[in-house]
Chain A
Amino acid sequence: MAGIGFELRKITNQGKITSFFEATITGIMIVAGPWIFSIIGITITQKLFALTSPESPRLFLGVLIYTYAGSMILWSGIQYLFTRAISDYLFHHQQRRAATLLVKVCIVMLPVSFLIALGAMLPVPLTVQNPFLFRLSAALFFGTISVIWILMMFISLLKWYFRILICYLLGMGCGAVIVWAAAPLLGVTGMLLGFTIGHAIIAIGLLGLSLHRFKPIRFKIVNGRMRQIYQSNKHLFFIGLFLSMGIWGDKIVYWFFRGSAPGNTWFYLFDPYDIAVYYANLFIIPGLLYFTIFTETEFHIYLKKFLLSLNGQPLIEIRKRKYQLKKATRKVMTDQSVFIGMMIMILLISAEHIINFLIPGLTTPLIFRMALCGLFLYFPLITIMNFMFYLQIYTVPLLAVILFFGINTAVAITTAGGFWNLPPGFSYIASLFVADLFILIRFNQSMKKLDQIIFLQ
């Protein structure tokens, strides 16, 4: 990802207002493009559906949210391994092998996800039109989203941002047209079908773009490569898994403790918190952009200088570079925190207005503010985790995300269960606070003896 950051930084360094906007738009596309298009797509889909059908879209939302949560939890470990494998291939200029791995993972992931989702949907009692088609669409949607997560990792290689944008517009557009056409006939089934087909088009388009750029070599589907990668990167797998479980832990708790499900299904949702989190996370984009363009690149620059000094420089020079790295890291983290902090502060102050504008009556200012605070505390964790990945230190991030998941879930159970009279989002904030503290302290310790750590690797 530092590569993208440097590209964007080059653009901003041109100093012109136009280049600043170009970098911003490009950066948003890369770090949050799919997310934004999903939100736009969902909003348009819901609006279209409301115009064409009297049914409640709640089941559709349930499928969506459970799909995002389930696919993240199920596949995030694999995503981390995949990212690691791709990075290794790129380092060795083996782009075609990277493309081959992409195809293999998609070939495995799509049917596995489809079958898991179908298996989960089959026992669900549905009172929609054409329940079989609904189940099929839900399963296909799950598979498609799972594959899109992987494609997103790979997309960072491609600098065809305009073509990626076209892919998304095409997919969303087609999806919207199908919803418009199918909803009057099939109700919420048609809505889900249209949305699914739209995402399938996006996935096919992105895959096609990837393979057109880097043609895969001949391969066997099962040749033990992913197992090899897992065995040498077990920590990464579990980091991904526990991070996703941490992110969704409290939401899942609130679904089942305080939520309600459409019809007799088990798609429990707790709207006030879900909606607050969903819209609050829109504001992650500026932070992610800042991290990509400034934080990560700055760290990378000083880290590279430090690493080069280890091979061929006397100890005094190594110590100097280490000090510079520590100082630069402290500065970029402070700057990032200030930037995000100021943004969150503004959002906290204007929470009521935002809710009234975007989601009137669907959540409360308190819950929305809790979600925003959680967002602020999320950044130190992922920032330091990324830094530690660069240093190939995996044990500390793993412990941090385990803490995050454990505390978040445990406290959520106590608050959702009514033991403590605390609002939703409290467990998320508390767990992130503890995880941040832990990872910050350990990162500091690691930085002090970074030369020793690198030599021992």
Chain B
Amino acid sequence: MNNRLKVCLVLEGTYPFIVGGVSSWVHDMIKGLPDIDFVLLTILPEDYTKTHYELPKNVVAMEKIIFNEKPKNGRKIKKPGNLLKIIRNFHKTKPVNKADQIEDVLKNIQEGFFLHEASVKSALGWEMIQSANQSKNPIFPFSDYYWAWKSTHDLLFTILGSTIPEADIYHSVSTGFAGILSLSAKLRFKKPFLLTEHGLYHKEREMEIRKTHAIRGYQRDMWINFYNRISEICYRSADRITSLFEINRQKQLELGAPADKAYVIPNGIDIDRFKVKRTPREGFHVGLVGRVVPIKDIKTYIAMSKIILEAIPEATIYCIGPTDENPEYYQSCVDLVKSMKIEDRFLFTGRQNVLEYYSFLDVVVLTSVREAQPLVILEAYAAGVPVVSTNVGNVAELLDFDNRFLAPSRDADKLAEGILFIRQHPEEMRIINKKNHLMVKKYYDKIDLHKKYGDLYTDMTKKGS
């Protein structure tokens, strides 16, 4: 008999198919808890087959749910009308009570049964759509409302009818569809649901929705509201909620997370690994460690580099990270570097062993437009390298709210100011670097992080390894 704890990690668009901070965090955690078995359940927009991480031995199973594939009804339920009535009552419930009502809905949706057809083909389903339209958007084209409704709900229906592997605990690494799927598992198998958020899923979706031209007007509100409601339901229904830093925890509480169930478990890194021997090089070396993708805002980094190179001609600027995730964006960055005539001092290195660079970099820069608690800052501090960054996510807290090193998003000038300050104040920076290193050692050690999650799993399941 297998007494090992089995954790089902429910992931949306991340590990092990997509590289990124969350994926790295998941990968490290699985490796850091070798006595626990993990089952991966990844929700993807399409069927990716290539994994970017070598799966540790304690990953015992891996399954995918593909959004773009419309699943066939594997079973019929006796009275779909009853289910639709429950759903109708759910929609009539006030938003503040929806989290309580949702359990009723989810309990009645069985595995293998998908509501795509019943929701629109049945008289009750159609009446629900029309009533919602009349109450919310009576003067706008009905076709727009219908297709927006269908788009949002089809995703949900795919999730709710999907097969979920059995496990002792369901750990979702975001709210959204992963969170709903974990909640569904909790109700189906009567197992605990742990929710961890790096960024805030509904806020990130809201930013994306507001940027896109495809969704406008009331449809935008519909989508934003949809994601907010899902997050709220996840917060109210999860047995425990963790976030990386207090600001995010507060935002979770604002949306209904119970204070006694919400904790902060910050990120962690392998301190010893990043305690590199510093071998400074001649000149001045500035590096950004990250993927060449729009969210990292490499273009602001390039603009900042131009300012730095005008002030410090002997400086060398590095962009250290994979360039193959978004070839078009990468090419536009290369073109920008050429147009600024800095191609001899600005280098795209591709995927590298960052430890080598941490040994000689004078500054690490982060220009992201969106982050949670960037591991790269912790790594740089562990290696004794100062950081200048845009003020996103938890960055301000990590940089001790020191505005000399913080800049608003897309502010190349302010970023350059921070770098020049570091260059011009070496003595002060030695003190600051040491302080940062001690902070990381004390609060952001990976061993503590993994222990905390291991204890949390045990506590929630009352089953040890």
Please report A residues at the B interface, Cβ cutoff 8 Å.
Answer: 310-316, 318, 449, 452, 455-456
- Give the chain A neighbours of B143 by CB distance below 8 A: 310-312, 455
Beyond A311-B143, A315-B133, A449-B126, whether A456 also contacts B138 by CB under 8 A is: no
Tell whether B421 is near chain A: CB-to-CB under 8 Å. Answer: no
A314 to B133, CA, bound (A): 9
- Flag if B142 contacts A456 (CB, 8 Å): no
Interface centre among B120, B123, B142 (most CB of A within 10 A): B142
New A-B pairs, 14, CB < 8 Å, besides A452-B120, A455-B120, A456-B120: A311-B141, A312-B141, A313-B141, A313-B142, A314-B138, A314-B140, A315-B133, A315-B134, A315-B138, A318-B142, A449-B126, A452-B121, A452-B126, A455-B146
- Closest A residue to B131 by beta carbon equals A315
Contacts known (A315-B130, A315-B134, A455-B146); A449 close to B123, Cβ less than 8 A: yes
* Known A452-B120, A456-B120, A456-B121: A314·B142 in contact at CB below 8 Å: yes
Question: In the complex the two chains form, what is the Cα distance from A316 to B140 in whole Å?
Answer: 10
A-B contact pairs, 30 of them (CB 8 A): A310-B142, A310-B143, A311-B141, A311-B143, A312-B141, A312-B143, A313-B141, A313-B142, A314-B138, A314-B139, A314-B140, A314-B141, A314-B142, A315-B130, A315-B133, A315-B134, A315-B138, A315-B142, A316-B138, A318-B142, A449-B123, A449-B126, A452-B120, A452-B121, A452-B126, A455-B120, A455-B143, A455-B146, A456-B120, A456-B121
- In angstroms, Cα B146 to Cα A229, docked, is 30
Which B residues from 121 to 136 make CB contacts under 8 A with A? 121, 123, 126, 130, 133-134
Tell me the smallest distance from the CB of A192 to a CB of chain B, in Å. Answer: 55
Q: Which residues of A lie under 8 Å from residue B120 when comparing CB positions?
A: 452, 455-456
B contact residues, total (Cβ < 8 Å): 14
- In angstroms, how far is the closest chain B Cβ from the Cβ of A395? 13
Closest Cβ–Cβ distance, residue B154 to chain A (whole Å): 13
Interface centre among B126, B141, B146 (most CB of A within 10 A): B141
- Please name all residues of chain A whose beta carbon is closer than 8 Å to the beta carbon of B126 when the two chains form the complex: 449, 452
Query: How far apart are the CA atoms of A314 and B134 in the complex, in Å?
Result: 9
**Min CB–CB distance B314 → chain A (angstroms):** 62
Residue of A nearest to B140 (CB): A314
Which residues between 89 and 121 of chain B lie within 8 Å of chain A, taking CB atoms?
120-121
Closest A-B pairs by Cβ, 4 of them: A315-B142, A452-B126, A312-B141, A314-B139
The answer for the CA separation of A456 and B125 in the assembled complex, in Å, is 12
Residue of A nearest to B146 (CB): A455
Contacts of A310 in B (CB 8 A): 142-143
List the B side residues contacting A316 at CB < 8 Å.
138
- Chain B hits for A456, CB < 8 A: 120-121
Residue of A nearest to B139 (CB): A314
Contacts of B139 in A (CB 8 A): 314
Separation of A145 and B126 alpha carbons in the complex (Å): 48
